[in-house]
Chains A and B, each alone.
Chain A
Amino acid sequence: MSNEQQAPAETKKNTELQPSKRRFGWLNEAIVPLLAILTAVLIGAVIVFVSIPGNKLPTFDPSIYGSRSDWFFSTLPERLRVTLSAFTGLFSGAFGDWTRPSTIPVAISNTLVESTPYILAGLAVAVTFKAGLFNVGAEGQLLMGALGSVAVAAFMPQWFGVASLPAIIHLPAALLAGVIAGALWGIIPGYLRAKTGAHEVITTIMLNYIALQVMDYLINGVMKDKSATLQRTPFIHENAALPRIISKATDPSLTGGQAYPRLITTTSSTWDLRIHMGIIIAFLMVGFIWWLMNRTPKGFEIKTVGENPEAARYAGMSITGTVVGAMGLSGALAGLAGTSQVIGLEYNLKAVFSSGLGFDSLAIALLAKSNPIAIVPAALFWGALRTGAGAMQVNTGISINLIQIIQALVIMFIAADQIVRWIYRIKQAEGGKITFNRSWGK
């Protein structure tokens, strides 16, 4: 009798432990990242407000302004205007000047182009976060992917002694080469971790250096385009390129004689866009990783090893296999990010290829809390900041460094989410204890 009485009491208690999860679902998960962004942007605005470049304001002249504070107050409207213009400049750089609709397609296309490698490399890092690993090696894996794909895309016909290969062979071969090269660069630290316990943070950082030097060596050596003054590889074959979606035809004089493919060729400058099939591949990968992590036994293994390796071993899962597999998958995704940059956007590989894409992807995975779907908005946000920053600097004279400050603040607030919870008085989801982070990106 009392047995039955007890049940509802316990039921109530358990429901109580996670009410927020039930009622708000994804919004509850997203609230901290969104508020982190808001806070970072507000702080960015304050920084602009107080540090406006001198040439934008009247200089302090004691004969005109009684004191410095009078001067400061008289500049308030101008400061406010410049601060606002920084953010409108940022917005119009990323999404177009909506008073001039013809600027919109190019701006949005640029944002999407910037976001493409972020999505892929962000996914790469998220996969390892799920497995309880911290892959700092996305940068190196991305470079190896770029190298692998450019080798095949630029030189493969040569190996077979032909002038060109059909696209149906050449394009998949280039993609595959990039994926495999990246995967190998991920498997090495994975294997070292699983078999010797060498920490992946250390090994992946070292492999980043090695990848950079390998790339440097190759594009200055066997892979160098002898006819070019820049340190770069030759242009890839047109049959190995990922098509642009809508663009003007290429000017062969600028592309080493190659006529790169477009799905739709236009003559309009408004629609001469850089956006390429890489974004489609990125979206497909988002779907694939979501499916893998949530719908398949392999994904279940990755998550279980990340959550509790002891329990995973007890349940008969192979820790070695899962760690190596997750690192390989991560490397493959990062390799694909490098590949899509080379065969979709750049068409060759230059010494200044990556500029830290692989490192930004860590930030994106953190911002998205390793959720494959959330990687998309996180990468778009990052891509928009980067795209908009250039326009902002040109139009308002505010340094592009502002964006880096905002980006850094976002990550800081995500990592120290207690600060955000405190500022906005958000209750802790569960537990309520401040703990030292043991796993990443959750």
Chain B
Amino acid sequence: MTANVVPALEVRNITKQFPGVLANDHISFTLLPGEIHAFLGENGAGKSTLMNILYGLYDPDEGEILINGKLAKIKNPADAIGLGLGMVHQEYALVDTLTVTENIILGTELRKGPVLNAKEASQRVRELSEQYGLAVPPDAIVGDLPVGVQQRVEILKALYRNVNMLILDEPTAVLTPQEADDLFRVMRELADKGKALIFITHKLREVREVADRITVLRRGKVVGDADPKTASEGQLAALMVGRDVVLKVDKTAANPGDVVLKVRNLNLRDDRGLTVLDDVSIDVHAGEVLGIAGVQGNGQTELVEAITGLQALPSGSIELLGKDITNRPPRSITEQGVAYIPEDRKGTGLVLGYSIRDNLVLSTYYKPPFTKGLTFNDPAIDEHAKELIATFDVRTPSATTTAGSLSGGNQQKIIVAREFTRENRLLIASQPTRGIDVGSIEFIHNQIIKQRDAGLAVLLVSAELDEVLALADRVAVMYHGKIVGILPIAEATRERVGLLMAGIQEQANV
């Protein structure tokens, strides 16, 4: 970081006021060519606002942006790209039915007269992908590709437009650990070739792995810069949330009781006839957390949906406390004491257009005390909402605020509050902390352990290995629809579980 290098990007005193919130408060930073600059912050810290200003989606109230030392006016994304600044959003802007090449050249088509010069375009895509180690099949249909590859297409799209700065907004949120590692390799490669990268995340381990420099944002302000080589995860987390967070979950040894959930020989094929569940059998005992580790898409979703009655099963049996619940309707299973945090918070767990109050009774609305005769008992529902908002620390102006206007962490707290306050025997938590801030993660982890200690059987499914290792008492690993190993937590090292997740089996444990 020598003084005589002209920064690729310099931001001075950017301030953005939304009515009622100061989203960015005099933020300044520099971005040098060839560096990966991470921005760390909780949801709502102002990261996205800042990036949207850089990308021309918002106008700043104050401050200036310099690109290569020159004052720049960025009024829209086209200006940004013209100035060499590209962005890969959390949600990809790809057309599923077009090929990789078509997606990349969309809007900048090379023409031969009125006809698309497909050959040359395809050639350029191939060159770029080789140059930066971004392996993509140029002629594949984008919709058929895994998320990790789609992301590479997004990156290529920016590179194709000759950007020399790239903003990656929460790029790992949807990736498997392997895909994330691949991405980090690509990011390094890009940086080595002189591109400047801005990496937005709230995952502590990632920034330490890949970033050259870390800027921590909190409530619209830069609260600190850190060197990834020296800063510990604990220090970074403290900067982010403004207090010391316990990353390790405090818990005592499990005290397992009787079998609560007994799953035997589940088999399932998908529409295309591919095996999704392959003879899955597991037991979950009262008072223990069984963690299911595995790369996403290896049958975890279907297993959980089969247990909760959302997925019909052609064969196998599921028993809850000795009672057969195979293929029972979801409500009957819920009523027998199953709490379920679904993996898709916004699509399944909540009705975003409903108030918090209504979401809190989404699965119990039909019975007393929430009904009185034929109608709802509003005082009871209001009281319930008030109580849960307080107990579960949901940050909201009121119980009638819509769930959709809350942050991810607060949305997840609503689901946890609703599910944990029924009379439960079994708790199924699927990706319970995906994409939420550290403070909420800590809270939800503690709640899960509290449920375990109260004698519930807990089945935890997570794509984040750290989460499984922090919470589970036993770890089961799923690979291609099969349970390829079950390890007690003491034996479940990152390396051993990692091998199993990759499908490399150990004789002794199968």
Query: Do A and B form a real pair?
Result: yes
Residues of A that sit less than 8 Å from B by CB: 1-3, 5-7, 9-19, 291, 295-297, 300, 304, 307-308, 310-311, 313-318, 430
CA of A18 to CA of B403, assembled, Å: 12
- A to B CB contacts below 8 Å, 9 in the list: A6-B219, A13-B21, A16-B18, A17-B405, A297-B366, A311-B351, A311-B362, A314-B310, A314-B340
Contact with A along B381-418 (1 / 0, CB 8 A): 00000000000000111000110011100100000000
Q: Does B20 contact A (CB under 8 A)?
A: yes
> In the bound complex, do residue A10 and residue B44 qualify as a contact, i.e. CB atoms below 8 Å apart?
yes
> In the bound complex, do residue A304 and residue B21 qualify as a contact, i.e. CB atoms below 8 Å apart?
no
Partner of A295 from the list B21, B376, B396 (CB cut-off 8 Å) is B376
User: What chain B residues lie within 8 Å of A2 (beta carbons)?
Assistant: 241-243
Who on chain A is nearest to B342 by CB? Answer: A314
Q: Does B69 contact A (CB under 8 A)?
A: no
Who on chain B is nearest to A316 by CB? Answer: B331
| The 8 nearest A-B residue pairs measured at CB | A316-B331, A2-B242, A16-B20, A12-B20, A17-B405, A297-B366, A295-B375, A10-B395
Who on chain B is nearest to A18 by CB? Answer: B405
Most central of A291, A311, A317 by chain B CB within 10 Å: A311
Q: How many A-B residue pairs have CB under 8 A?
A: 102
Q: Does B352 contact A (CB under 8 A)?
A: yes
List B148-173 residues whose CB lies under 8 Å from chain A.
none
Who on chain B is nearest to A304 by CB? Answer: B351
CA of A308 to CA of B395, assembled, Å: 24
CA of A307 to CA of B342, assembled, Å: 18
For the complex, would chain B's binding face be called helix, strand, loop or mixed by DSSP majority? loop
Q: Does B29 contact A (CB under 8 A)?
A: no
User: What chain B residues lie within 8 Å of A9 (beta carbons)?
Assistant: 21, 219
CA of A238 to CA of B167, assembled, Å: 78
> In the bound complex, do residue B352 and residue A308 qualify as a contact, i.e. CB atoms below 8 Å apart?
yes
Q: Does B349 contact A (CB under 8 A)?
A: yes
Most central of B242, B351, B374 by chain A CB within 10 Å: B351
| Known contacts A2-B243, A297-B366: A14-B348 contact under CB 8 Å | no
> In the bound complex, do residue A311 and residue B371 qualify as a contact, i.e. CB atoms below 8 Å apart?
no
Closest chain-A Cβ to B310's Cβ sits at a distance in Å of: 6
User: What chain A residues lie within 8 Å of B410 (beta carbons)?
Assistant: 10
> In the bound complex, do residue A12 and residue B347 qualify as a contact, i.e. CB atoms below 8 Å apart?
no
> In the bound complex, do residue B242 and residue A6 qualify as a contact, i.e. CB atoms below 8 Å apart?
yes
Residues of B that sit less than 8 Å from A by CB: 18-21, 44, 219, 241-243, 308, 310, 329-332, 334-335, 340, 342, 344, 347-354, 358, 362-363, 365-366, 371, 374-376, 395-397, 401-402, 405-407, 410, 439
CA of A408 to CA of B19, assembled, Å: 38
| Known contacts A10-B395, A11-B397, A296-B375: A311-B349 contact under CB 8 Å | yes
Partner of A316 from the list B329, B352, B396, B402 (CB cut-off 8 Å) is B329
Who on chain A is nearest to B374 by CB? Answer: A296
User: What chain B residues lie within 8 Å of A19 (beta carbons)?
Assistant: 19
User: What chain B residues lie within 8 Å of A308 (beta carbons)?
Assistant: 347, 350-353
Closest chain-B Cβ to A298's Cβ sits at a distance in Å of: 9
Who on chain B is nearest to A11 by CB? Answer: B397
User: What chain B residues lie within 8 Å of A15 (beta carbons)?
Assistant: 20, 397
Closest chain-A Cβ to B17's Cβ sits at a distance in Å of: 11
User: What chain B residues lie within 8 Å of A318 (beta carbons)?
Assistant: 329
| Known contacts A12-B20, A297-B371: A307-B401 contact under CB 8 Å | no
CA of A2 to CA of B243, assembled, Å: 7
Who on chain A is nearest to B371 by CB? Answer: A297
User: What chain A residues lie within 8 Å of B374 (beta carbons)?
Assistant: 296
> In the bound complex, do residue A14 and residue B405 qualify as a contact, i.e. CB atoms below 8 Å apart?
yes
CA of A48 to CA of B371, assembled, Å: 56
User: What chain A residues lie within 8 Å of B406 (beta carbons)?
Assistant: 14
| Known contacts A10-B44, A11-B397, A18-B405: A296-B243 contact under CB 8 Å | no
> In the bound complex, do residue B242 and residue A13 qualify as a contact, i.e. CB atoms below 8 Å apart?
no
> In the bound complex, do residue B334 and residue A316 qualify as a contact, i.e. CB atoms below 8 Å apart?
yes
Closest chain-B Cβ to A15's Cβ sits at a distance in Å of: 5
User: What chain A residues lie within 8 Å of B241 (beta carbons)?
Assistant: 2
Most central of A3, A314, A430 by chain B CB within 10 Å: A314
CA of A311 to CA of B353, assembled, Å: 12
CA of A3 to CA of B409, assembled, Å: 14
User: What chain A residues lie within 8 Å of B21 (beta carbons)?
Assistant: 9, 12-13, 16
Closest chain-A Cβ to B378's Cβ sits at a distance in Å of: 9
CA of A160 to CA of B122, assembled, Å: 82
Closest chain-A Cβ to B304's Cβ sits at a distance in Å of: 11
CA of A406 to CA of B298, assembled, Å: 57
> In the bound complex, do residue B376 and residue A296 qualify as a contact, i.e. CB atoms below 8 Å apart?
yes
| Known contacts A10-B395, A14-B405, A316-B363: A311-B19 contact under CB 8 Å | no
CA of A314 to CA of B329, assembled, Å: 10
| Known contacts A10-B44, A307-B354: A297-B401 contact under CB 8 Å | no
| Known contacts A13-B21, A16-B18: A311-B350 contact under CB 8 Å | yes
CA of A34 to CA of B250, assembled, Å: 59
Closest chain-A Cβ to B46's Cβ sits at a distance in Å of: 11
Who on chain A is nearest to B404 by CB? Answer: A430
Partner of B19 from the list A14, A16, A317 (CB cut-off 8 Å) is A16
